[in-house]
Amino acid sequence: MKEILDKAKEKMEKTVDALAHEFSTIRAGRANPSVLDKVHADYYGAPTRIDALATVSVQGGQTLVIQPWDKTALKAVEKAILASDIGITPTNDGTVIRLVFPSPSEERRKELVKHVKKYGEEAKVSIRNSRREADDKLKTLKKNSEITEDDLKDAQKKVDKSTEEFNKKIDSVCAEKEKEIMKVENV
């Protein structure tokens, strides 16, 4: 029984972590190296993550500087960024690539907030699915007479409490990201 509760809680934690990671890839006017997490450059015939090919640093809050260790990879990195969906045109000066992040318009900010809410809702659905799975396993234990009715009710209460706790975490993470997106920076 404890194993079922622990597994449900672990799945819920992974959901919140995945949501936080997903939010780190949403750009809100500030340069963040994690926007390049899904971008892979063709390096000697193998798709390679940008951070495995180069040093990626933030300059002045609005600019990402990508400095490949191997200068021959510069064109491949630039091509990969252009082909990606990050929506920023890279500037290549022959030694480094710069990505300047403009502050998004009010309309774009509202669109990003919609994405945040959608991801938040998907995470809550995942939490509910983890809860349902745990609930089903607990009922199976009760059906097989491995636990008592009281044990079942106590375990269900614990699963419900975890579900509430993780839903609040999701709400908190979403609210924080929405606040970050809607904040207008004066640069």
- What does the pLDDT look like over 81-102, one tens digit per residue? 888 877 788 898 988 999 887 7
Is the pLDDT at 187 greater than 60? The verdict is: no
Gap between the Cα atoms of 30 and 185, Å rounded: 9
- Give pLDDT tens digits for 15-38: 999 998 888 777 666 777 888 888
Q: Chain-wide mean pLDDT for the chain?
A: 87
Q: pTM for the full model?
A: 0.67
CA distance 148 to 46: 56
Q: What is the C-alpha to C-alpha distance for residues 73 and 56, in angstroms, rounded to an integer?
A: 14
Position 185 pLDDT exceeds 60: no
Domain 33-100 matching CATH 3.30.1360.40: the answer reads yes
Chain-centroid distance of CA 77 in Å reads 23
Taking residues 59-84, report their average pLDDT. Answer: 88
Range in 2-6, 47-51, 82-86, 145-149 the model is least confident about: 82-86
Mean pLDDT in residue range 147-172: 94
CA distance 44 to 74: 12
Residue 41 contacts residue 47 (beta carbons within 8 Å):
yes
Instruction: Report the distance separating Cα 11 and Cα 134, nearest Å.
Output: 10
With a pLDDT cut of 70, the percent of the chain lying above it is 96
Residue span(s) of the chain under CATH 3.30.1360.40 come to: 33-100
Q: What integer pLDDT is reported at residue 184 of this predicted model? A: 62
Q: Could you tell me which CATH number the domain at 2-25+105-182 has?
A: 1.10.132.20
DSSP assignment letter at 147: S
Domain with CATH 1.10.132.20 in the chain: 2-25+105-182
Distance CA 83, CA 47 (A): 13
Kindly report, residue by residue over 103-144, the tens digit of the pLDDT. 777 887 888 889 899 999 999 999 999 999 999 999 999 999
